[in-house]
């Protein structure tokens, strides 16, 4: 039995899947099986993966002839995983060579932890070179409820025994927010941590889920939060108060009720950013200084 099962769905990924596969095969930690599921791609994804599978016996390739959708394929993959840990991977990202080594060492040293993720660095034509998402080191159920996912799905390494013991799978009711629901399920039984270092380069392009399906993703996240609160609270007023807190950390300010002029967005647990017209950075806090448009200093934090 391998220590790690790497689970990677792939759909129409011919442009990027080769680089994603090589980033896994080039890991310094080598005791893993690499489960790749082609979900009915209509391009050359299956051929590319099959060619790699012929060259490396750690690759276990499943070729779905019909497209089943991401959540169904993820659950299909969970059942195929035999390793002590399950490492998620997306077919357009790049894992850094030390990723598995560092994550396995951490999980071995912290047997109470159910999932360990890491920071990510976004890359792509429209991305700045320093675009790093720094997630908090520890996440509990309340943190996830109030601040959102705070875990990059393709960086996750999950303790398989936690999933098996509590019969945890991805929920098909939460399309485009299935990872958030998974963390919510797991956090009810064990802690979730993030390594404070970059272990994955996250490809950013115009087909990312958070771009194409942002509204649906947000609606699903709200349903996840509400359903979780119903499990623990009986007073509808208390539920609405907490849900209001979650909405206030990612809100928009409207001009004449029509034009969104300022957006307030929470990133890691204590990091808030303000944007003008949704995208232009308005206020930035740096070295205890307050800057307008990132470079005009307008004050200090005492």
CA atoms of 63 and 73, how far apart (whole Å): 11
- What does the pLDDT look like over 40-84, one tens digit per residue? 999 999 999 999 999 999 999 999 999 999 999 999 999 999 999
pLDDT of residue 250: 60
Query: CB under 8 Å to 208, separation ≥6 — which residues?
Result: none
**pLDDT for 214 beyond 90:** no
- What does the pLDDT look like over 82-113, one tens digit per residue? 999 999 999 999 999 999 999 999 999 999 99
Rg (CA), the chain: 20
pLDDT of residue 212: 60
**pLDDT for 245 beyond 80:** no
- Write out the residue limits of the CATH 3.90.550.10 domain(s) in the chain: 4-205
pTM over 0.75: yes
Cα separations (Å) of 38 from 64, 70, 291? 6, 10, 47
Instruction: Note whether 144 and 163 are within 8 A (CB).
Output: no
Q: What are phi and psi of 113, to 5 degrees?
A: -80, 135
**pLDDT for 289 beyond 80:** no
As its CATH architecture, domain 4-205 has Alpha-Beta Complex (3.90)
CA atoms of 227 and 239, how far apart (whole Å): 10
The burial class, CB within 10 Å (0-12 / 13-18 / 19+), for 196 is exposed
- What does the pLDDT look like over 19-47, one tens digit per residue? 999 999 999 999 999 999 999 999 999 99
- The model's confidence at residue 269, banded by pLDDT at 50, 70 and 90, is very low
Average pLDDT along the chain: 87
- What does the pLDDT look like over 147-172, one tens digit per residue? 788 899 999 999 999 999 999 999 99
């Amino acid at each position: 039995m391998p220590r790690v099962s790497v689970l990677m769905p792939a759909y129409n990924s011919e442009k990027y899947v080769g680089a994603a596969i090589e980033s896994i095969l080039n890991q310094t930690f080598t005791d893993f099986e690499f489960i790749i599921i082609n979900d009915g791609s209509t391009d050359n994804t299956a051929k590319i993966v099959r060619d790699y599978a012929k060259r490396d016996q750690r690759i276990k390739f499943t070729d779905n002839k019909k497209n089943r959708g991401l959540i169904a394929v993820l659950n299909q993959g969970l059942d195929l995983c035999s390793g002590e840990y399950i490492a998620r991977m997306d077919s357009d990202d790049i894992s850094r060579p030390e990723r598995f080594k560092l994550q396995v060492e951490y999980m071995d040293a912290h047997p109470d932890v159910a999932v360990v993720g890491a920071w990510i660095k976004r890359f792509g034509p429209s991305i700045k070179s320093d675009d790093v998402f720094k997630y908090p080191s520890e996440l509990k159920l309340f943190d996830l409820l109030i601040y959102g996912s705070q875990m990059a799905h393709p960086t996750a390494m999950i303790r398989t025994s936690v999933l098996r013991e509590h019969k945890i799978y991805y929920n098909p009711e939460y399309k485009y927010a299935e990872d958030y629901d998974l963390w919510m399920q797991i956090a009810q039984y064990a802690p979730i941590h993030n390594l404070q270092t970059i272990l994955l380069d996250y490809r950013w392009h115009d087909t990312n889920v958070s771009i194409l399906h942002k509204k649906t993703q947000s609606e699903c996240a709200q349903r996840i939060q509400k359903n979780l609160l119903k499990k623990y609270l009986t007073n509808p007023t208390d539920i609405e108060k907490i849900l209001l807190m979650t909405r206030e950390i990612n809100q928009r300010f409207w001009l004449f009720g029509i034009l969104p002029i300022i957006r307030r967005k929470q990133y890691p647990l204590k990091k808030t950013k303000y944007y003008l017209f949704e995208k232009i950075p308005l206020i930035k806090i740096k070295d205890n200084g307050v800057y307008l448009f990132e470079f005009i200093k307008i004050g200090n934090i005492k």
